[in-house]
Amino acid sequence: MNDERFERLLRGFELPEPDPRLDARVIAGAEEWLVRARTRGTVAGVARAVGEAFGFGYVNFLIDFVTETDAEYDVELA
Amino acid sequence: MARDEVTEFDELYRTYRTRLHQYALSLTREREAAEDAVHDAFLGWVRQVASGRAPSQPAPYLYASVRNRCLDRLRRRPEVALEESHVELLAAPAGDEERIALQRSLNRLLLALPGEQREVVVLRTWHDMGFAAIAALQDIPVNTAIARYHYGLAKLRKELDKNE
């Protein structure tokens, strides 16, 4: 049997199915993380709105300025 | 929770679950370790997405993540001996006795290959991965990946001929 035929023979086999318990574990874990991330996002949004309402908008502005401004790296070679 | 986030993840999981599971099995030769690696890799992906740092391409991330987790596991605990390994890297249709016998032989021979050759044969044959991508994953030159594949394939063929 040449290489090509042997490769075809190997490719003719399917891959085994993972245990359904693994599927359940991964999906449940992922959903939990996504819920947590969404809750964090909502809480941050509410905090921003409250901050704006009470006249602390400049705090949001400073946080955005620090977190969203790209750092610049300037390396000078001697 | 937004429905689309869950659906997106579900699609990603359905796309890669079988392949990553087989890949992890081929690296560890152990079911539990392989399942843990796949689970952790997917949850790692979710964490990246949740923190807004999702890699642009899921496949390279997931493969590298599964590989790192499996290698990390092997560093902590040596590879399961061939005689003690009962994992199946291939599946044959039920009822086809001839095919099932061949699948069993190939499975044992694959598991007996040296780890780095087994990995290349698995990725190239069942994951349609090019040699450049395999080389990048294993952090080796492309020619080394090609050589590992051909050595592995030759060994499999020779042993299968011997068994028949």
Q: What is the mean pLDDT of residues B81-104?
A: 89
- Where in chain B are the domains? 1-81, 96-164
User: Which tens digit of pLDDT belongs to each residue from B127-147?
Assistant: 999 999 999 999 999 999 999
Q: Do B13 and A17 touch (CB under 8 A)?
A: no
Point out which residues pair with B57 in neighbouring strands.
none
Those of residues 72-91 in B touching chain A at CB distance below 8 A are 88-91
Q: What tokens appear for A17 in the block?
A: 């199915």
User: Which tens digit of pLDDT belongs to each residue from A15-58?
Assistant: 999 999 999 999 999 888 877 777 766 666 666 677 777 677 77
Distance from CA of A24 to the nearest CA of B (A): 10
The mean predicted confidence, pLDDT, of chain B is 91
- Where in chain A are the domains? 41-69
Question: Which of B48 and A61 is assigned the larger pLDDT?
Answer: B48
Which pLDDT belongs to residue B12? 93
Inter-chain contacts counted by CB atoms under 8 A, chains A and B: 97
Q: Do A30 and B1 touch (CB under 8 A)?
A: no
In whole angstroms, give the CA distance from residue A38 to residue B4.
13
In whole angstroms, give the CA distance from residue B36 to residue B21.
10
**Quick check: helix, strand or coil at residue B91?**
strand
pLDDT beyond 80 at B112: yes
Which among A13, A17, A19, A32 is the top mutation candidate for probing chain B, defined by the most B β-carbons within 10 Å of its own β-carbon? A13
Q: Do A13 and B1 touch (CB under 8 A)?
A: no
Please give the CATH number for the structural domain made up of B1-81. Answer: 1.10.1740
What stretch of H or E contains B142? helix B142-163
Point out which residues pair with B91 in neighbouring strands.
A14
In whole angstroms, give the CA distance from residue B139 to residue B141.
7
B8: contact with A, CB 8 A cutoff: no
Yes or no: say if B90 and A16 are a contact pair by the CB < 8 Å rule: yes
- pLDDT range class, residue A78, cuts 50, 70, 90: very low
Which pLDDT belongs to residue A44? 65
Measured between CB atoms, which of B9, B47, B88 is closest to A16? B88
Question: Which of B41 and A59 is assigned the larger pLDDT?
Answer: B41
**Quick check: helix, strand or coil at residue B7?**
helix
In whole angstroms, give the CA distance from residue A72 to residue B60.
29
Please give the CATH number for the structural domain made up of B96-164. Answer: 1.10.10.10
Q: What is the mean pLDDT of residues B11-27?
A: 96
Measured between CB atoms, which of B17, B51, B161 is closest to A23? B17
pTM here?
0.81
